Amino acid sequence: MYELDQYLDDQLSRGRCYFSKKEALEAHGYTPEAFTAAATRLIKKNRLAIPYRGFYLVLRPEDRVAGAPEPVRWIDPLMKYLKLDYRVSLLRAAAFHGASHQAAMVFQVVVPKQLRGIDIGRHRIQFVYQATDVFREANQAEFLQQMKSDTGFAKVAGVELMLLDSIRYFHKAGGINGVAQIVHDTGNKADPRRLAKVSVLYENSTVRRLGYLLDRFDHGRQSKVLEPFARKAKSMKALDPSVKPIIEGMPEFAERDSKWMLLINEEVEIDV
């Protein structure tokens, strides 16, 4: 019988650090019970890990300290296994695009379905839900790039989409100061035409917040294409929606930016 140990070595020799239970059963001729027993033995030997039911990761010696391979090596096959489209975005994508201050301790993936996060070894994957219709329009090839690993490629938000995602889900990107750092570091890399095109898919307030931060850090070519969005605004919004007024009417004392129709209710601080 084709031993599971040998199967793992064969996967690695093919440049694969993953397989599904179904694939292994078809290759082995095992019963499900026998496979589970063999897999459990290899998990105890630190040769296998399970990020999701029915989906296995093969650990090389260099992966064993971290408890799993780097997520970029297996996020694409995992999402294909789950039959879901996706994109790597927010902090991990910001680091990919050159945001030098982003430690990217979490691997964030935007998906059109509510999914529980994955904690495996030292790695943490956080799934960020985006409404299906918006996701479908945003997750087009022209707004995406590829993140390369030694096992293939993962879809990653292009810089324009990453900036909008970071603003939209700012509470998952280090708050308003974390997002400001991302805009400071990467805003000048955004293609103005593409930025304007994808911004149509996001809430007007999200686009205005991005425009304000682009202006703040002198990314004028990028901020200019977002000005028409601000002219359509019907009311002021807070720059940082997470800051609650301490007393009634406190927003009246915040600085008002009439260009971007924002209440500047938080002083933005970054590392330079």
Is the Cβ–Cβ distance between 39 and 32 less than 8 Å?
no
Does 121 reside within a domain?
Answer: yes
Residue 60 carries which DSSP code?
P
pLDDT digits (tens, 9 = 90+) for 114-158: 999 999 999 999 999 999 999 999 999 999 999 998 878 999 999
- Count how many domains the chain has: 2
133 and 188 in a single domain? The answer is yes
> 87 lies in which domain range?
73-264
Q: At 229, is the pLDDT very low, low, confident or very high (cuts 50, 70, 90)?
A: very high
Position 251 scores a pLDDT of: 52
pLDDT of 246 over the 50 cut: no
Q: Decide which of 216 and 252 is more confident.
A: 216
What angle separates helix 4-13 from helix 32-44, to the nearest 10 degrees?
70
pLDDT of 65 over the 50 cut: yes
Q: At 27, is the pLDDT very low, low, confident or very high (cuts 50, 70, 90)?
A: confident
Q: At 2, is the pLDDT very low, low, confident or very high (cuts 50, 70, 90)?
A: low
168-172 long-range contacts, CB within 8 A, separation 24+: 168/202, 168/203, 168/206, 169/90, 169/128, 170/209, 170/240, 170/242, 171/242, 172/90, 172/91, 172/108, 172/126, 172/128
pTM over 0.95? The answer is no
175 and 52 in a single domain? The answer is no
| Average confidence (pLDDT) over 247-270 | 80
Q: At 209, is the pLDDT very low, low, confident or very high (cuts 50, 70, 90)?
A: very high
178 and 58 in a single domain? The answer is no
Q: At 247, is the pLDDT very low, low, confident or very high (cuts 50, 70, 90)?
A: very low
pLDDT of 249 over the 60 cut: no
pLDDT of 176 over the 50 cut: yes
156 and 30 in a single domain? The answer is no
Domain boundary among 20, 45, 68: 68
206 and 247 in a single domain? The answer is yes
Least-confidence region, from 98-102, 177-181, 205-209: 98-102
91 and 25 in a single domain? The answer is no
| Average confidence (pLDDT) over 91-97 | 95
Mean pLDDT (the chain, rounded): 92
For a pLDDT cut of 70, what percent of the chain falls above it? 94
95 and 51 in a single domain? The answer is no
Position 150 scores a pLDDT of: 80
Least-confidence region, from 69-73, 148-152, 160-164, 217-221: 148-152
Quote the CA–CA distance of 239 and 95 in Å, as a whole number.
23
